[in-house]
Structure formats: structure tokens, C-alpha cells
Copies of this chain bind each other. A is one copy, B any other.
């Protein structure tokens, strides 16, 4: 059904080998034959068969991403769609495909990586939701697979990391709140086993301590709306409740915003709130949310580029640091009420 290099070779009156050379732009052919071959290929409508290339070159021409996430947290995840869209954009420019898998937990994730490699489905992978002590790094090393990680784990990792500095905007958020007059600033953090969960908490604590304030108003969550709301209630129920809350993502911030309002508090009058992600709906909350704008698409694009470069040997293995996300001040933050 499809036209192969044998057909092209016959049409151009050369051997398959010559066609392969011409198509891959390798030296060893006269310009005349090269052009004749390329012409023939073009007029015959030849397209390379990834299947055949894969087998003979032992490469998959695909890269994989395994998302380890409980299904329930998937639908409200605003990072993931944009991120993979960015990844895929870069891949398709270079004739690579994106193979996606889902695993409910870390165990399933490891198995997924093993299967992907053994079946020869992928040449490299992108590790998202990196944990500080991430077992996947060892697994991939063991499998001999190329990889990039999103952020750098504390465990030594030979893989280049594409890093987003979330300290800077969190610091900016805390300083913004301090400047407004807040003294009791809480943090509703995400899973601390994740690098991005811990680093945000760390930035929050550091900024407070630098200002001589205690960093004792903290609760860990799973980044989900329900646990964000629960954390908020717990914090506001303390003897000395916060006047401002820094959330690790917009989802928790907005869910909590609605919850505290339903319970009679006014935002920002009684309570200031900041989010993280600048999701679409953060500007449509009431009041619009002060948050941090990250660029997931760009992160995906860069990650894919580094991985591809690594596969073709043109990356030196060093980390890449993305532009730090900016704090976007909207109306969910204001001076604390006692100041008024």
C-alpha cells in the first residue's frame, strides 16, 4: 500500500542503500544522484516508516511521560494539559511522538516505566511531580534510559533538571503581605514529599524568618480542593489565627476563598489570600485572586527540547533554569482589618 525505499530505489535506478543515504543527507553520493533520488521520493509520495526505522535503528522515536496521580486529582489539574501540550509541540517538530501513561501510585509508575522500556516504546522520559527521594531516578538509571526531571531532587541524579524557581514568587507574595501589614501569615502547602511542595514551604518560611516573624502557621495537604479547605478551617480555628494565607495552588485558594466567605468572613477585608498557578479562573473568582503566573507550556517545551538534545548527544547534561514566575497582585490581598 505505501511506497518504500525499494520502490524509490527502483525508480531512481539505484540501490536501497543509496536511497537511505540520500534521505538522511549523508555524504557519499554525487549531487546529481542525490537530487534524482530525492525527486523520485517526492513525486512518489514516500514517507518514512517509523516502524522500520525503529527496528533497524533500535530507537523508538518516542518519549514517554508517566503520570503518577490518583485519578481524583486529575480533573482539576491545570498544569498537566498545558505542560504536555508544550512537550508535544516540540516533539512533533522533530518527528517524535509522545506516549502517555497513568499510574495511580509510585509503584504502578515504576512498573509503567519498566514496561515502556522493555517493550521498546520510548527513548527517554520526562519525570514530573518529582519527589525529594525519588525512586524513579534509580529505576531509570538501571534501565539505561535518558531522562529529564522537572526540578532537581535531593537525591543525586545524573539527569538534567529543568527547574522553575518557585521560591522567588512565594517570597514576593510573603513580602507583599508583610508590606500590607500582615504579621500572621500562614501557608497551606502541598504534599511535602514533592520537590515543589517543599520548596514553596521553604520559601515561605525563609521570607517570614527574614522579617523576624514566626513560620508556625503551616498545614500540609495533597494539593486537592477538599484538603485545602480543611487545612484553612484548621488554621483559622487556632488560638492565634492568621490574617493572611499563602496557598500552594489556585485550586485550594479558590475553594477556601468560597468556604471562608460562606462562613461569614470577608476577603480581603478579614483575610488576605494568595494562590499559585494563575489558572484561568483565578481572575474570575470574587475577589480576583492574587497569584503566581507560571508558564506550563514553556516548561513542557523546554523539557522536551533538553531531552531530545540529550538523545542526540548535543546536551551537556547541565540543568536549565526557567524564568522565575511573577507574582500577580489582584484584589484578594489587602491590609489586615485591625489596621483599618
The residue of chain B having its C-beta at the shortest distance from the C-beta of A277 within the complex is B75
Interface segment, one of A93-101, A196-204, A321-329? A93-101
A225 within 8 A of B: yes
Instruction: Say yes or no: A88 contacts B75, CB within 8 Å.
Output: no
Q: Which residues of chain B come closer than 8 Å to A318, judged between CB atoms?
A: none
Q: Which residues of chain B come closer than 8 Å to A89, judged between CB atoms?
A: 102
Q: Which residues of chain B come closer than 8 Å to A279, judged between CB atoms?
A: 75-76
Interface segment, one of A33-41, A51-59, A146-154, A155-163? A51-59
Within 8 A of B (CB), among A283-322: 283-287, 296-297
**Cα A115 to Cα B92 with chains together (Å):** 10
The residue of chain B having its C-beta at the shortest distance from the C-beta of A85 within the complex is B102
Interface segment, one of A12-20, A181-189, A255-263, A268-276? A255-263
Per-residue CB proximity of A83-119 to B under 8 Å, as 1/0?
0110011001001011111100000000010010011
Instruction: Say yes or no: A281 contacts B251, CB within 8 Å.
Output: yes
Interface segment, one of A24-32, A42-50, A170-178, A213-221? A42-50
Instruction: Say yes or no: A281 contacts B76, CB within 8 Å.
Output: yes
Within 8 A of B (CB), among A231-287: 251, 254-259, 261-262, 279-281, 283-287
Per-residue CB proximity of A52-83 to B under 8 Å, as 1/0?
10110010101000010001001111111110
The residue of chain B having its C-beta at the shortest distance from the C-beta of A80 within the complex is B81
Instruction: Say yes or no: B102 contacts A99, CB within 8 Å.
Output: no
**Cα A297 to Cα B73 with chains together (Å):** 12
Q: Which residues of chain B come closer than 8 Å to A256, judged between CB atoms?
A: 284
Main secondary structure of the interface of A (DSSP, over half): helix
Per-residue CB proximity of A106-136 to B under 8 Å, as 1/0?
0000001001001111000000000000000
Instruction: Say yes or no: B71 contacts A225, CB within 8 Å.
Output: no
Q: Please give the distance in Å from A92's CB to the nearest CB on chain B.
A: 6
Q: Which residues of chain B come closer than 8 Å to A334, judged between CB atoms?
A: none
Q: Which residues of chain B come closer than 8 Å to A98, judged between CB atoms?
A: 99-101
**A101: contacting residue among B67, B74, B88, B281, CB under 8 A:** B88
Q: Please give the distance in Å from A193's CB to the nearest CB on chain B.
A: 21
**Cα A279 to Cα B72 with chains together (Å):** 11
**Cα A92 to Cα B109 with chains together (Å):** 12
**A76: contacting residue among B52, B74, B225, B280, CB under 8 A:** B280
A sample of 23 cross-chain residue pairs with beta-carbon separation below 8 angstroms, ordered by A number, consists of: A49-B119, A50-B121, A51-B51, A51-B60, A51-B120, A67-B85, A71-B82, A71-B85, A71-B297, A75-B79, A75-B296, A76-B279, A80-B81, A84-B100, A84-B102, A88-B100, A92-B112, A98-B99, A98-B100, A259-B284, A259-B286, A262-B287, A281-B281
Excluding A84-B100, A92-B101, A262-B287, 18 further A-B contacts by CB distance (< 8 Å) are A2-B118, A49-B55, A49-B119, A49-B120, A51-B55, A55-B55, A71-B297, A74-B81, A84-B102, A85-B102, A88-B100, A95-B119, A97-B121, A99-B100, A254-B281, A258-B284, A259-B284, A261-B286
State the 9 A-B residue pairs at the shortest beta-carbon distance, nearest first: A255-B284, A258-B286, A76-B280, A47-B118, A51-B54, A50-B119, A75-B82, A74-B81, A75-B78
